[in-house]
Structure formats: C-alpha cells, structure tokens
Amino acid sequence: MTGQHTDAEISRRVRRLETLLEDRGLIADTALDEALDAFLSGASPVNGAKIVARAWTDPDFRARLLADGTSAVAELGYSAGGVQPQRLRVVENTPDTHNVVVCTLCSCYPVRLLGPSPGWYKSEAYRSRVVREPRAVLEEFGVRLPDATRITVWDSTSETRYLVLPMRPAGTEHLDEAALAGLVRRDALIGTAVL
C-alpha cells in the first residue's frame, strides 16, 4: 500500500493488531500496556536537558558528545531509547548554523532523552513542510533567524536519532549544571526553539 496514512488510520490498525494478538492468546490483555509503561518510565526531556547542561559545562564531554553521541550519553546512563539499539547523533547549533530534526517517514525520535514526542512532531504537515521550507516552519514556532544563518534539517530513521545541542544562553556563566538544565526545553532539543 502506498501513500500517507492519518494518525487515526494508524491508531485503528494498531488497535486491530493488539486485538488479534490478545484474541489468539499470544499476549495477555495487559501485557502491551505494561511494556509501554516500562518503556516510558524513564523517558523525559529532563534527561536531554541534563546532557546539554553537561556539554555546556564540560568541554571534554561536549567533544565526545559531538563525536559519538551514543557513547557519550551512555556515560551518563542514558540511551536514545527504542525497542532496538539506536545510534544517537548530536548536532550543534552555532551563531552561523541552526539545526532542526524531523522524521519524514513516521516519527522516529529519541524518546528516552526527550519523553514522548509532541503531536506536532508526528503530524504530516510538520514532517513534510520542515524539509521544504524550514525557515517558514521555524518562524511559525517563533524562531526568527538571521537570513545569513544556515538551517540544516536532519531526518531521523529507525537506526539513527538526532538531538540538537542548543547554544548556551548568554549571561549564564554563573549557573551550575543543575540550573542550566532547568533552562533547556524539549523543543530546543528538536530545534524548533532557541534558548
């Protein structure tokens, strides 16, 4: 089957599959809920915020994070999450470059580091438009970048997840790691916000 499917269509298909598995006795009726609860139990944007704060305060960690995000976040006890292992690639915003993340095929996303994905991230409108007209989409999120700023769009896959390392806000030199983490919002880790 080709073409795009709406969230409602996908939800109906998932529910039908769950019902078939339950009816055939392949899973207990609560097993899927328990598995999802366990999977999401440690998933939070606080995790991503802690990673960013460490990168802002520890130049060696920052270098490792940008070189191999998977290994660097593992140092702090995190992973990109998912049923199968995924590679985490961290991309850094600079005064000249702004990064934004999308999954054009579905909604691949580092759940363990950012918590459940927002509805707009999964929407067909975001997934298709941010690739074609990233500056316009970012402006709809309130992100107005200078014309000279290059915007790079990163397309997540089932194997590779992306995390944006936002620029550290000016005037935060006196803040410790915990206070810095408190400044980081999930949308900045996707690239649809600046701090």
Domains (ranges, CATH) in the chain? 7-39 (no CATH), 42-190 (3.90.330.10)
Q: Which residue has the higher pLDDT, 125 or 35?
A: 125
pLDDT in tens, 117-131: 899 999 999 999 999
Residue 102 is inside which H or E element, if any? strand 97-102
Burial 38-63 (b: 16+ CB within 10 A, else e): eeeeebbbbbbbbbbbbbbeeeebbe
Provide mean pLDDT across the span 143-151. 97
Of 37-46, 64-73, 85-94, 151-160, the least confident: 37-46
Look at the pTM and tell me if it is higher than 0.95: no
Active site residues: 103, 106-108
Task: Report pLDDT for 16.
Answer: 78
Task: Report pLDDT for 3.
Answer: 45
At 124, list the tokens. Answer: 């067909």
Provide mean pLDDT across the span 83-112. 90
- Cβ contacts of 176-180, under 8 Å, gap ≥ 24: 176/57, 177/50, 177/53, 177/54, 177/56, 177/57, 178/53, 180/52, 180/53, 180/56, 180/57
Task: Report pLDDT for 111.
Answer: 87
pLDDT in tens, 68-85: 999 999 999 988 765 567
